[in-house]
């Protein structure tokens, strides 16, 4: 079955960077995009961006342009999402999810989430 | 408009029907997706492309869309359906994605 397994929780200081990984299994990795979404405490879901592993094409939300970078490693079926210049407002649970369609317009499976805490 | 609007909360008695609207000016040209999110857990995809239900999702969940409003309907609500429900849409080029603010469903 489709599985998305994310890396463990992280604690970072303001100004630092964080890299969250998402290992996919149970389907053909290059056939579906991976979408990243986050949820800050007490807030709703927020789209960060997506990557198409088949060609490395990326799209980022305006709020994350220049600060988020997504990469795909087809040898390990893993997508990485790096977020730089962290502030306390980046404290959130980050989810990877499998996109449907090209480009992905929605998702069907989700990772378990990675809590990123930004604190001095 | 670049927003999707949902009511913050809906309350329903067990066995009754809950309807959650999601409105946005772009919806006539976009597919809508619905997700269920319970505290401490990953979201679950309930509906894709307005009204399609993935395998494994109970048939009491259904979706529809007309004009600028999409609706998630839960028929015969159960206690386990208490959660926050989000609608989501994207432009055909894949950017940007929009999420509604979420609707908390309370089962009385």
pLDDT digits (tens, 9 = 90+) for B27-71: 988 999 999 999 999 999 999 999 999 999 999 999 999 999 999
The 10s digit of each residue's pLDDT in A20-75 is: 999 999 999 999 999 999 999 999 999 999 999 888 899 999 999 999 999 999 99
Separation of first and last alpha carbons in chain B: 34
Integer Cα distance of B20 and B7 in angstroms: 7
Residue in chain B nearest A113 by alpha carbon: B42
Residue B59 distance to chain A (closest CA, Å): 17
Assess A105–B contact: CB distance below 8 Å, yes or no.
yes
Considering only residues 38 to 97 of chain B, which have any Cβ-Cβ distance to chain A shorter than 8 Å? 42-45, 48-49, 54, 84, 86, 88-90, 92-97
Class of residue A4 by CB neighbours under 10 A (exposed 0-12, middle 13-18, buried 19+): buried
Contact yes or no for B108/B12 (Cβ under 8 A): yes
């Amino acid at each position: 079955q489709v599985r998305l397994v994310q890396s463990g929780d992280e604690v970072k200081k303001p100004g630092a960077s964080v890299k969250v990984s998402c290992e996919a299994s149970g389907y053909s990795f290059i056939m579906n995009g991976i979408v990243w979404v986050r949820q800050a405490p007490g807030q709703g879901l927020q789209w960060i961006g997506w990557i198409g592993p088949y060609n490395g094409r990326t799209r980022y939300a305006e709020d994350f342009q220049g600060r988020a970078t997504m990469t795909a490693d087809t040898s390990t079926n893993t997508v990485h999402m790096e977020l730089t210049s962290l502030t306390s407002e980046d404290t959130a649970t980050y989810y990877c999810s499998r996109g449907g369609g090209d480009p992905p317009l929605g998702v069907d499976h989700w990772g378990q989430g990675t809590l990123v805490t930004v604190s001095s | 408009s670049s927003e999707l609007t949902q009511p913050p909360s809906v309350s329903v008695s067990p066995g009754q029907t809950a309807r959650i609207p999601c409105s946005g000016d772009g919806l006539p040209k976009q597919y809508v997706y619905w997700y269920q999110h319970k505290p401490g857990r990953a979201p679950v995809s309930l509906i894709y492309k307005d009204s399609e239900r993935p395998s494994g999702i109970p048939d009491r969940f259904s979706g529809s869309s007309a004009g600028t409003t999409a609706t998630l309907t839960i028929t015969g609500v159960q206690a386990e359906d208490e959660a926050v429900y989000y609608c989501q849409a994207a432009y055909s080029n894949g950017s940007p994605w929009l999420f509604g603010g979420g609707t908390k469903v309370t089962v009385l």
